[in-house]
């Protein structure tokens, strides 16, 4: 039995390690294929080493019939037989391996319908027309600027001060002002 078959049997996620070998990752270690129908459970806590956690892990698995392969201060490896279901479940639980999600028939049906639904062509989608009041405001603002129908105090204060600073001049084109160009006589 290889890692892929073991993972399928117990519904686990697999990935490849740095060397390209398939492993079953967990929160505190990983399960890997050791050879001849045996698998290894590697215990290595992330972060600071905790020898007591490794000792508890080691004692529990040795009592279940695992074989000690490597024994470090706060990490190590234990071997187990892939055919022994009790050892396999204990190793999976001990390293905190994540299981694959199994969607229900209802979830699969929803996914099938979503895949089959025809998506609209983005070119055929037309924007909704603006509300009547919004369109009238846009027209009045644009025509007000062109025709000089702004309130008198805005016209006097805004244009006079901008002309005095040389920031505004008439473009001659439909009578619209250009802002940001320096006017020099």
Among 28, 24, 91, smallest CA distance to 60 is for 91
Q: What is the mean pLDDT of residues 131-143?
A: 51
The residue among 101 and 132 whose pLDDT is bigger is 101
φ, ψ (nearest 5 deg) of residue 69: -100, -50
Q: What is the DSSP letter of 101?
A: P
- Which residues have a Cβ under 8 Å from the Cβ of 28 and sit 6 or more positions away? 43, 44, 45, 46, 53, 57, 94, 95, 96
Q: What's the CA gap between 122 and 151, in Å, rounded?
A: 43
CB 116 within 8 A of CB 31: no
Environment class of 163 (CB within 10 Å of its CB; exposed 0-12, middle 13-18, buried 19+): middle
Model confidence band, residue 23 (pLDDT cutoffs 50, 70, 90): very high
Among 54, 47, 53, smallest CA distance to 71 is for 54
Model confidence band, residue 65 (pLDDT cutoffs 50, 70, 90): very high
Model confidence band, residue 178 (pLDDT cutoffs 50, 70, 90): low
CATH number of 3-95: 3.90.1150
pLDDT for position 143: 47
Q: What is the mean pLDDT of residues 112-125?
A: 75
Q: What is the mean pLDDT of residues 65-90?
A: 91
Q: What's the CA gap between 179 and 185, in Å, rounded?
A: 16
Q: What is the mean pLDDT of residues 97-126?
A: 80
Task: Please spell the DSSP secondary structure of 27-95, one letter per residue.
Answer: SSEEEEEEETTEEEEEEE-SSS--HHHHHHHHHHHHHTT-EEEEE-SSEEEEEEETT-HHHHHHHHHHH
Question: Is pLDDT of 19 > 60?
Answer: yes
Q: What average pLDDT does the structure give for the chain?
A: 76
**CATH 3.90.1150 occupies which residues in the chain?**
3-95
Q: What is the mean pLDDT of residues 153-168?
A: 51
pLDDT in tens, 31-46: 999 988 899 999 988 8
CB 94 within 8 A of CB 43: yes
CB 10 within 8 A of CB 88: yes
Q: What is the DSSP letter of 16?
A: E
pLDDT for position 140: 46
Question: Is pLDDT of 76 > 70?
Answer: yes
φ, ψ (nearest 5 deg) of residue 125: -80, 125
- Percentage, residues of the chain above pLDDT 90: 23
């Amino acid at each position: 039995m290889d890692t892929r078959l073991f993972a399928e049997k117990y519904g686990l996620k697999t990935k490849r390690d740095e060397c390209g070998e398939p492993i079953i990752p967990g929160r505190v270690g990983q399960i890997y294929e050791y050879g001849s129908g045996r698998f290894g459970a590697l215990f290595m806590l992330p972060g600071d080493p905790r020898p007591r956690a490794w000792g508890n892990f080691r004692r529990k698995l040795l009592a279940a019939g695992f074989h000690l392969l490597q024994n470090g201060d706060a990490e190590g490896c234990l071997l187990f037989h892939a055919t022994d279901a009790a050892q396999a479940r204990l190793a999976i639980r001990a390293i905190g391996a994540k299981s694959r999600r199994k969607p229900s028939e209802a979830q699969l049906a929803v996914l099938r319908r979503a895949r089959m639904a025809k998506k609209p062509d983005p070119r055929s989608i037309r924007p909704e027309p603006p509300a009547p009041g919004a369109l009238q405001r846009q027209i009045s603002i644009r025509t007000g600027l062109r025709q000089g129908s702004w309130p008198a105090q805005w016209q006097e204060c805004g244009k006079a001060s901008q002309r005095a600073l040389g920031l505004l001049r008439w473009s001659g084109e439909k009578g619209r002002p250009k802002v940001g160009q320096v006017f020099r006589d």
